[in-house]
Structure 1
């Protein structure tokens, strides 16, 4: 029976829907990121060209509409409908709507079983392939039997390219199923384009669409038909950044992943990291202090430009 697991780590909270030794779906909520459904207070900062609110911490929120009868500078209550998005368009600010002051917040989190962190005994997320999942988000490459997916961010949509060595009809079906699984695992949302191989005949295209539908059963989504060139579009509600978008901020993504790996051991340590990752830790000094408390020893940094962004590791001292 699939089960949602929740792990409160350093710098982020991790969610995974696990079925045995597989992660079916996942979410990452970075520290400090606003969540959909959160109700906050701010001021109406502008009404043209679009209503804009500014929260007390300086976060700017684009509003769906100007609140009626409210002038610029007035305090308003706002429900966050989507946080700001990392990725190729970092100017995409948070979205929200003005609500009454007594509206109750609606959490975007799932009901999940809490896991201890650092893991005590079994590391259930690692056993289910958490590190492999992060690698998929980082590289955008996902292997399946008969082929490979390449998932990429564009300003218009997330695009999934299907390639492989099966016959076109078989590859279209297998690739559509793999794409649906990737959509769930990487928490892809919004507009998603899937480029399947061109297939002769309507039956093959319908079989590919049916394979995608079966993989996304129970999820909220809409899709187009597969056209004659093998392309279809999937649209899912936009509530938070996908793992692919979080990985686009490569230094912060690598820093938080290293904290999870380093927390599995005990005693003082030195983290050897790329200078860009070191800069992240310097901005978030509390992360290293928290890791030190968990390991029971002081944590220091060694900046090494020869290391890849994702090549950080803990060295005993």
Structure 2
């Protein structure tokens, strides 16, 4: 039986879909002041970047790329838009969110809790004084997979995946030992599961071992189809073992989110661990310089931790 577990953390909200005592989907929503995906709000066209096709709009809380452009719209015009994709981190730069023309009424985008509640699957809110249901399901292991990109899988044979987000696509590299056909089949199931678990969208490339024989390549294609929910498109495996998958992309994947600011991810994880320490919680904590910098920039996180634990924490550089 499937169940969503939810935590209202400090600096982030967390949710995992658990089935058979394992995590099927893992989601993190960072605290934010701007509008969420799905919000319908007024905006102003500040620039036409591609005549008749695309422009840049501004709104309360930020900017986004607008496509398609309504017929006859001119620079400076106002209109209602719906946010359809988050900002995407790409190394040193961030790709602006995307939006589309919309009709009213204005509305806010759903929060993570609202989205999982609307899924129809039971939701259990977990609290710090309770047993750690997230860890029991494998939360730390999932975060480590997303941060490092290293995923070990088993099947009739074992192997490993290396996940590498790039500006062009998310790449999966399959590693393992012969026999190659069962390795590729087990890897296809692991790739599909990782795509769902990490909410990876957009263009995805998978480099499988080179398989000889149409039947063997077709079996891998079928395993991907069975493991990925629609809608998506994919190419058939080519003679070099490469498959491309394209899925709708609305949000940042978990690997992208954690790797965009590793120090902030470590700081939020630290706050979660401290919050779960049985009272009396220690006051002093030694942290890496990057983590201390993040915490110093977010004093409301420290204030919230003090409110929840009853102890004002002191963070010193290790």
Structure 1, residues 267-308: CA drift from partner, whole Å, max 9, x if none? 34233222122221122111111111111100121123xxxx
| Post-superposition offset of 1:6 | 2.1
Residue 196 (str. 1) matches residue 208 (str. 2): yes
Alignment of 1:161-310 (within 5 A): 161-216=173-228, 218-248=229-259, 249-265=261-277, 266=279, 267-304=281-318
1:96 corresponds, among 95, 99, 105, to 99
> Given that residues 5 and 115 in structure 1 are in contact (C-alpha distance below 8 angstroms), is that contact kept between their aligned partners in structure 2?
yes
User: C-alpha distance in 2, partners of 1:24/1:128?
Assistant: 10
| Post-superposition offset of 1:70 | 4.6
Residue 45 (str. 1) matches residue 46 (str. 2): yes
Residue 121 (str. 1) matches residue 127 (str. 2): no
> Given that residues 191 and 233 in structure 1 are in contact (C-alpha distance below 8 angstroms), is that contact kept between their aligned partners in structure 2?
yes
Structure 1, residues 24-62: CA drift from partner, whole Å, max 9, x if none? 1111111116432122333222223441111223x1111
> Given that residues 222 and 234 in structure 1 are in contact (C-alpha distance below 8 angstroms), is that contact kept between their aligned partners in structure 2?
yes
Structure 1, residues 200-251: CA drift from partner, whole Å, max 9, x if none? 11111111112222222x3432211111111101111101000010111211
Alignment of 1:4-83 (within 5 A): 4-32=4-32, 34-49=35-50, 50-57=54-61, 59-68=62-71, 70-83=73-86
User: C-alpha distance in 1, partners of 2:109/2:288?
Assistant: 39
1:130 corresponds, among 133, 136, 139, to 139
Q: How many residues align?
A: 301
Partner residue in 1 for 2:116: 110
Q: Flag the 1:89–1:167 CA change in 2: closer, same or farther, 3 A.
A: farther
The answer to which of 4-13 and 134-143 deviates more is 4-13
1:142 corresponds, among 129, 151, 155, to 151
| Post-superposition offset of 1:67 | 3.7
User: C-alpha distance in 2, partners of 1:303/1:177?
Assistant: 43
Aligned to 1:228, what secondary structure does the other structure show?
A: coil
Structure 1, residues 113-134: CA drift from partner, whole Å, max 9, x if none? 141332x322211110011111
The answer to which of 38-47 and 226-235 deviates more is 38-47
User: C-alpha distance in 2, partners of 1:172/1:116?
Assistant: 38
> Given that residues 116 and 123 in structure 2 are in contact (C-alpha distance below 8 angstroms), is that contact kept between their aligned partners in structure 1?
no
Q: CA RMSD in A?
A: 2.0
> Given that residues 2 and 20 in structure 2 are in contact (C-alpha distance below 8 angstroms), is that contact kept between their aligned partners in structure 1?
yes
User: C-alpha distance in 2, partners of 1:89/1:232?
Assistant: 28
TM-score, normalised relative to structure 2 = 0.88
Structure 2: 5+ residue stretches without partners: none
User: C-alpha distance in 2, partners of 1:252/1:76?
Assistant: 35
> Given that residues 192 and 233 in structure 1 are in contact (C-alpha distance below 8 angstroms), is that contact kept between their aligned partners in structure 2?
yes
Q: Flag the 1:89–1:75 CA change in 2: closer, same or farther, 3 A.
A: same
